[in-house]
Amino acid sequence: MKNKRVLIVEDDEVTAMNLKMSLEKQGYNVVAMADDATSAKSKIKVYTPDILIIDISLQESDDGIKLASYVREKQLMPFIFLTAHTDDHIIKDASKTEPYGYIIKPFDPANLHVTIQMALYKYHQEKKRSENLDLLKVDKLNLEKLLYNKKLSDKPIVPFGDGYHLDISVCETFCNNKKIKLTKKENAFIRLLVAQLGLVVTFDQAINYVWEEDGATENSVRTLVWRLRSKLPTEIIKNASGMGYYIED
């Protein structure tokens, strides 16, 4: 976390200098300081800092909050707020920009360091997740290709197990030509298993493919499989202990 490039946006000269000295003592590189939103925007483009420290009330207005909104929408870099305010209205407005942390004046150097570390960590986790979602889009395309290559030559049908088949045109599962009534998530999980017959579908793969919303866990996958097994006529979904599930090829 050391040697990270920091831009300070603070209109109080004494506070700004204290921040600069404290950060440099802890190994951070303060690349620039700005005392208003306009100069801050230009310095962001010039210095491309790793993180911003923004006073909520620049020039005794809400310019700090407006600057944070600009950074969130246009610059895609982490920022933390510096504030002496405990006013609920101001904090509520500031929270809408989704800051990566708050530092209360007068600041404590140790808390300052921890807040910056946590902000950078949170930002990099968000960035990694975003990159993983971009890769997932490609994975879904590959999955469709895998299913297409497994289908019968003249029909959109992929046989699997003993008497089962998946109709890839409508994403529905059949056993002995009888449709099995499954939920959207259950059918999606079958689709994922069939595309990788003989290979283990990991918990992470299942979560990324089946759940569009946040919050799914390994237990979510286990519950889904438990419900799915109760609906399938035979035990075709096998456990890969601690890893995930598979269907034999």
- Bridge partners of residue 164, in order along the sequence: 160, 175
Pair 150, 158: CB distance under 8 Å: yes
How many CA atoms lie within 13 Å of 199's alpha carbon, on the beta-carbon side?
A: 12
d(CA 108, CA 30): 18
Q: Where are the domains of the chain?
A: 5-130, 151-246
Q: Return d(Cα 221, Cα 185) in angstroms, integer.
A: 10
Q: Which residues pair with 179 in a beta bridge?
A: 174
CATH class of this structure's domain 151-246 = mainly alpha
- One-letter amino acid identity for 57? S
CATH number of 5-130: 3.40.50.2300
In a 13 Å sphere around the CA of 200, the CA atoms on its Cβ side amount to 9
How many Å apart are CA 191 and CA 197, to the nearest integer? 10
Q: Which residues contact 222 (CB under 8 A, 6 or more apart)?
A: none
Residue 50 contacts residue 14 (beta carbons within 8 Å): no
Residue 70, phi then psi, degrees to nearest 5:
-60, -45
Residue for token pair 């150097």: 109
Distance of alpha carbon 64 from alpha carbon 55, whole angstroms: 6
Q: Encode the chain (249 residues) as per-residue pLDDT tens digits.
A: 568 999 999 998 999 999 999 999 999 999 999 999 999 999 999 999 999 999 988 876 778 888 998 898 877 789 999 988 666 777 888 888 889 989 988 888 888 999 999 999 888 877 776 665 555 554 666 777 777 888 887 888 889 988 999 998 888 999 999 999 999 999 999 988 988 888 888 888 888 888 876 778 889 999 999 999 999 999 999 988 778 899 988
Burial zone of 77 (CB within 10 Å; 0-12 exposed, 13-18 middle, 19+ buried) = middle
pLDDT for the residue numbered 46: 92
pLDDT of residue 183: 92
